[in-house]
Amino acid sequence: MSTTPKQSIEQVFDNMWQDYLALNPDALKIYQLFEKNNDVVNDHVAFRTFGLPGLRVEDIAQPLLEAGYEEVQSYDFEKKKLRAKHYAHPTMPLVFISELKVEEFSRDAQILIKQLTSQVDLNRVKSQDFLYSGRPWTLVSDVYDRLLEESEYAAWVAAFGYRPNHFTVSINNLQQFKTIEQVNEFVKQNGFPLNTSGGEVKGTPDTYLEQSATLANSVEISFSDTKRTIPSCFYEFALRYPLANGELFKGFIAASADKIFESTDSKAA
């Protein structure tokens, strides 16, 4: 039986948005560049987690399902050792949730990750406010560095925890721009470098989805022993094309997502 949500799903998204802006001053600046026509619509957000009992994609998705979201599709990213699902709601943005295949990492990394996740009160995970709660464990810089050696994604989750790693401007809803190339030029002219992995534009009209993303801005983060400046969150831009039935494509493209993940890679910055 599902419990009644304490907040509306709109309020949950507003809280996620405030958390994202507070952490990422660049995201606010980019949003302000686009909001002038009051036509910024959020296409989707994405979460990341460690695939361990109680913290899997399905656990994180629980409050979304209670708010009327449905699971749509699964994805596998063999090389990055990730799996993911996306969820859709009749009126709200899409949600993409991925998890690290912890069992595929070295024994050392698995032990370090389990030391982090053992600190989580798993009863909190399925609650709405977990979606903007940040890091639920203490983290020393050595652990961050050690995880970074094996997976940029693992280090990101260790440092930032549970919050959207990006919001996405729907290009379809912008009056000022018609193509993703125009959006990319505008973003770059305003001083925000793009993720160029696989080219600035990921996907083609043939895949019904074109995407680009900024490189995550670096922010100063407190670990338990020291402060470090590390890549945080990014902003994405998505242009969707109509399917044969006239409706806009509403999914994700695994090959493009594979490149979008690299927007938080410090080696790319």
Question: What order of strands is seen across the sheet that includes strand 94-100?
Answer: 70-77, 82-88, 94-100, 44-50, 166-170, 234-240, 209-213
- Does 236 interact with Ni ion (rule: CB under 5 A)? yes
Shortest-Cβ-distance residue relative to ligand OOG: 257
> Dihedral (C-alpha) 119, 122, 124, 128: value to the nearest 10 degrees?
120
Q: How many residues does the chain have?
A: 269
Least distance to ligand OOG, CB of residue 142, Å = 24
In the complex with ligand OOG, the residue whose CB is nearer, 7 or 75, is 75
| 212 touches, from ligand OOG, Ni ion, none (C-beta below 5 to 8 Å by class) | none
In the complex with Ni ion, the residue whose CB is nearer, 151 or 264, is 264
Q: How far apart are CA 136 and CA 143, in angstroms?
A: 15
| 252 touches, from Ni ion, ligand OOG, none (C-beta below 5 to 8 Å by class) | ligand OOG
| 167 touches, from Ni ion, ligand OOG, none (C-beta below 5 to 8 Å by class) | none
Least distance to ligand OOG, CB of residue 21, Å = 18
What do you get for the CA distance between the two ends of the chain, in Å? Answer: 46
Q: Widest CA span of the chain, in angstroms?
A: 56
By the criterion CB under 6 A, which residues form the site for ligand OOG? 46, 48, 96, 98, 165, 211, 236, 252, 256-257, 260-261
In the complex with ligand OOG, the residue whose CB is nearer, 143 or 253, is 253
- Kindly list the distances between the CA atom of residue 9 and the CA atoms of 80, 228, 240, in Å, as whole numbers in the listed order: 31, 34, 24
Interacting residues toward Ni ion by CB under 5 A: 46, 236
